Structure 1
Amino acid sequence: MDNADNLFHPSLAAALMKLDPDDGEQIMEYFKTHALLSREKALLQTSVRDQKKLLVENAKLKKDIEQLRNQLQDKQRRRTAKALLSPAPPPPSLSSTSTTPVNQPASPAEALAAVPTNPHPPSTFSQDRRDRQSRRRRGEKKARPSSDLLSLGAEPRVDVSRLDLRVGRILSVRRHPLAETMSIQEVDVGENAPRTVVSKLGGKIQLEELQGGLVVLLCNVKACKMRGVASQARLLCCSTSDDCIELLAAPTGSTPGDRVTFLNYPGDPDRELPSKQRVWELLQPDLQVDSRGVANYKGCGFEVKGKGLCRAPSLTNCIIR
């Protein structure tokens, strides 16, 4: 407690003893203990700050060492590549190997000195050619680089982020002239001109109720002709087992062209879905309307950012197609 005694003036102790002769000494002991604890806490905080500073400096040193090591490896690779690509020096000519005139025979000592003791090894090109011939005789093939194998084995991602889903407004709707079960919609999706969409809704939905409604369209499907009319997008709808069909509705306040995104799948959509990969067919089993009527993919809702979720008007627990 010597350090604590230095923190208090003797007059303070005398005043406490005068005010409270019985407990004055205990009060002074309490003050001294509290002062010591405060000082130890300050020292501990200083130690923690120093430790954090050392950790930061240590991490910086590790990063510098890693950079130096990478630079050294790059230099080593460049040096090796340069050595492999450099041409072999030409063999010594007869004039350089011996200075003896042609019409005079060289002495045995001169003849031995003229013969190179360490002939240059064969060039890299010749060695590679011999290796290929040897493998061909053994029936072996040159091993592929590991990066090529990885690139060949890699599969493109198949999730809902590859779909270009947008909000559209139906400007007009009419029956297909060549098919009673089909209808033709002109839909504004925020582009210079509306898109023509052919759907099989002619006999299942009151067409006059569709005009002016906000719907969800799949816009990166390949355009195809349906009974002579080119369809440039796909209307998303939901249906139950009893063949009751409703078009998915965009949230209130949406505008044509708004993107429909998914919080857990932030990737960019394809410019056009490859027909050979059948992306839509693979994703469709996981596109559903839940018990609250919200459209979702694997539990992640169809969302127009800042405006809400896409829903079915009245159906629940059904598939999206």
Structure 2
Amino acid sequence: MEYFKTHAMLAREKALLQASVRDQKKLLVENSKLKKDIEQLKNQLQEKQRRRIAKALFSTPSPTRSPAPTTQPPSTAGASAAVPTNPPPPSSSSSHDRRERQSRRKRGERKARPTCDLLSLGVEPQVDVSRLDLRVGRILGVRHHPLAEELSVQEVDVGESAARTVVSKLGEKTDLEELQGGLAVLLCNVKACKLKGVVSQARLLCCSAPDDSTELLVPPTGSTPGDRVTFLNYPGDPDRELQSKQRVWELLQPDLQVDSRGVANYKGCGFEVKGKGLCRAPSLTNCTIR
């Protein structure tokens, strides 16, 4: 009897052990499957996030209009139901915009979008001296303006295929014959304009003292036509053309000075031709540049 009892107990324990092994294998299989499912869901979530970010970057946000606030009249005492209110009539400006869009659509026109990222974001470009295209030029010829005694006309080589015509007001004390063949500093990205019938394509930078003495700003020795005048503290590329509406030159001119050593500077930073030196006034000091 003891033998049979022991044999039955061993058989029961063996069955329990086999069942626990089967359960353990089953759990391992299910755990592996769950890991694969979790990894797959994680990859799908990351892919959706990448698509959402790419869509947000490349899509142009359309302006949204805030809903017009609806005002309800104050309820009277004892009123049991809310009184329906009519929506406010559209404003005259919105109806004007609608008519303008319809007229443009009939004409086949489209509203132009700003091409500059700064303008589209409502950010104005920074105004500093790096926006000026200052170059060294050689004066090839000088003559009096045919229609204005106070003006003179110069033909200046600024390193381009053709010389530029410049109309300047240099003052009565300036000897025009001495200017021919000399070097000067020119502002080359001003908009071409007609002065008394002659088109001026650049601006000669001059030093002007309170007693009306005027001198041309002189580049350093060894400069050649076309050399850029730059500023160490204000790096950057100049504008292709200065817009008259932005008044860049007018805003910068008060800070363009000649110091006590005769060196031209903007807010203490010198006019420099890289590798050749600083631009100077021939004899004037503590004066303005115009």
Structure 1 unaligned segments of length 5 or more: list them.
Answer: 1-70, 83-130, 140-147
SS at 1:135 equivalent: coil
Question: Once the two structures are superposed, what CA deviation does each residue of 1:124-183 show, in whole Å capped at 9, x if it has no partner?
Answer: xxxxxxx98x924638xxxxxxxx999544121100000000000000001001111110
Aligned partner (choices 171, 179, 189) of residue 140 of structure 2? 171
Aligned partner (choices 165, 176, 181) of residue 196 of structure 1? 165
Letter in 1 for 2:49: Q
Q: Does 1:78 align with 2:51?
A: yes
- 1:295–1:309 Cα contact (<8 Å) kept: yes
Partner residue in 1 for 2:237: 268
Question: Once the two structures are superposed, what CA deviation does each residue of 1:68-115 show, in whole Å capped at 9, x if it has no partner?
Answer: xxx977732636999xxxxxxxxxxxxxxxxxxxxxxxxxxxxxxxxx
Which whole-Å CA distance do the structure 2 matches of 1:223 and 1:163 have between them?
A: 15
Count of matched residue pairs = 197
Partner residue in 1 for 2:83: none
Question: Matched residues, percent identical?
Answer: 84
Distance 1:303 1:150, change over 3 A: closer
Partner residue in 2 for 1:234: 203
- 2:128–2:252 Cα contact (<8 Å) kept: yes
Partner residue in 2 for 1:32: none
Question: Once the two structures are superposed, what CA deviation does each residue of 1:26-48 show, in whole Å capped at 9, x if it has no partner?
Answer: xxxxxxxxxxxxxxxxxxxxxxx
Which whole-Å CA distance do the structure 2 matches of 1:174 and 1:182 have between them?
A: 9
Distance 1:79 1:195, change over 3 A: closer
Q: Does 1:311 align with 2:280?
A: yes
SS at 1:319 equivalent: strand
Partner residue in 1 for 2:102: none
Distance 1:74 1:168, change over 3 A: farther
Distance 1:150 1:207, change over 3 A: closer
Which whole-Å CA distance do the structure 2 matches of 1:283 and 1:218 have between them?
A: 13
**1:204 Cα offset (Å):** 3.1
Letter in 2 for 1:221: V
Partner residue in 2 for 1:209: 178
Q: Does 1:296 align with 2:265?
A: yes
Which whole-Å CA distance do the structure 2 matches of 1:150 and 1:247 have between them?
A: 37
Q: Does 1:256 align with 2:229?
A: no
- Cα-Cα RMSD: 3.1
Q: Does 1:185 align with 2:154?
A: yes
Distance 1:73 1:166, change over 3 A: farther
- 1:167–1:215 Cα contact (<8 Å) kept: yes
Structure-to-structure mapping, 1:105-124, within 5 angstroms: none
Structure 2 unaligned segments of length 5 or more: list them.
Answer: 1-43, 56-63, 71-87, 89-116
Partner residue in 2 for 1:246: 215
SS at 1:78 equivalent: helix
Partner residue in 2 for 1:221: 190
Question: Please, what TM-score do these two structures have when normalized by structure 1?
Answer: 0.56
Structure-to-structure mapping, 1:42-191, within 5 angstroms: 75-76=48-49, 78=51, 135-136=67-68, 138=70, 151-191=120-160
Letter in 2 for 1:255: T
Which whole-Å CA distance do the structure 1 matches of 2:202 and 2:148 have between them?
A: 19
Which whole-Å CA distance do the structure 1 matches of 2:267 and 2:54 have between them?
A: 51
SS at 1:169 equivalent: strand
Partner residue in 2 for 1:144: none
Larger-Rg structure:
1
SS at 2:253 equivalent: helix
Partner residue in 1 for 2:252: 283
- 2:118–2:125 Cα contact (<8 Å) kept: no
Partner residue in 1 for 2:35: none
Question: Once the two structures are superposed, what CA deviation does each residue of 1:227-281 show, in whole Å capped at 9, x if it has no partner?
Answer: 0000000000011111111000010000000000000011100000011000000
SS at 2:254 equivalent: helix
Letter in 2 for 1:78: R
**1:316 Cα offset (Å):** 0.5
- 1:180–1:202 Cα contact (<8 Å) kept: no
Letter in 2 for 1:217: L
Which whole-Å CA distance do the structure 1 matches of 2:152 and 2:250 have between them?
A: 23
